[in-house]
Amino acid sequence: MTTTLLVPTYQHMLQTLSGLLDKAQQQMPDRAETLLAARLAPDMFPLAAQVCFAAFQAQEAVFRLRGERVPEWLDAIAAEGRNAGNAPGTIADAKKRIDTALSFLADVSDDGLDSGATLPIAIELPGGMTFDMTGEQYARDWALPQFYFHVITAYAILRNQGIEIGKADYVPHMFGYLRSKAVAA
C-alpha cells in the first residue's frame, strides 16, 4: 500500500508543480527567471529551493523505504535547494529537476516500497534532533507532509508574485475523477 499511496501522489503533484512553472513562464515571461528567487518571508527558502526540495523528498522516500542509503547525487539536490538563494537557476533548471524525479518514480515497481512499511527509519535534523519511526509512520508523518509543504509553498510564492493560478491548477489530476454529466433520455 505504501507504493500505491506515495508514488502516484508524488507524480501528480510534481506534474502540478511543473504546470505551475509553465503558467508562471506564460504569464510573466520577462520575470519568470526572477520568480525563482522569490520568497514568502525573508527567513524562508525561495521558489527554486521549494522545487529542489519537492524533487528531493519524492526520491528520498523511495531510497529510505527500500532500506537503501540516500545517494550522494540526491543529497546534492538538497544542497542545491539550500543554496538556491544564491543561485536560483532558471525555469528550465527547475523543470529538469521535476522531470528527473518523475522519470525516477516511473521506474518504481508497483509494490517496490511496500516492504519498507516496517523498516526502522531515523530522520536526523541539524541541531541534533532525531526522529525514530517505522517506514509506515515515516511515509504518513514525514514524507508526505514534507513533500506537500514544499509544493504548496511553491504555489503560494507564485500566487504572491501575481501568477494567476487557483485550486484547479493545484489539483488538475482530480479532473480524471470528474463524474460525467448524465445524458438526458
What's the whole-number average pLDDT of the chain? Answer: 93
Q: CA-to-CA distance for 94 and 89, rounded, in angstroms? A: 7
Tens-place pLDDT, residues 56-96: 999 999 999 999 999 999 999 999 999 998 889 999 999 99
Looking at residue 129, the DSSP 8-state letter turns out to be: -
The CA distance from 179 to 183, in Å, is 12
Task: Reply yes or no on whether the pLDDT at 17 is more than 70.
Answer: yes
Helix (H) or strand (E) holding 168: helix 167-170
State the helix-helix crossing angle for 91-106 and 2-27, rounded to 10 degrees.
160
Mean pLDDT of 140-158: 97
C-alpha cell, 2: 505504501
Please check whether residue 64 is in contact with residue 124, taking contact to mean a CB–CB distance below 8 angstroms: no
**Looking at residue 184, what is its pLDDT?**
53
User: What is the Cα–Cα distance from 62 to 115, expressed in whole angstroms?
Assistant: 11
Whether pTM > 0.85 for this model: the answer is yes
Pairing outcome for strands 130-134 and 120-124: antiparallel
SS3 of the chain: helix, strand, coil, percent, to 5: 65, 5, 30
- Lowest-confidence range among 3-7, 47-51, 134-138? 3-7
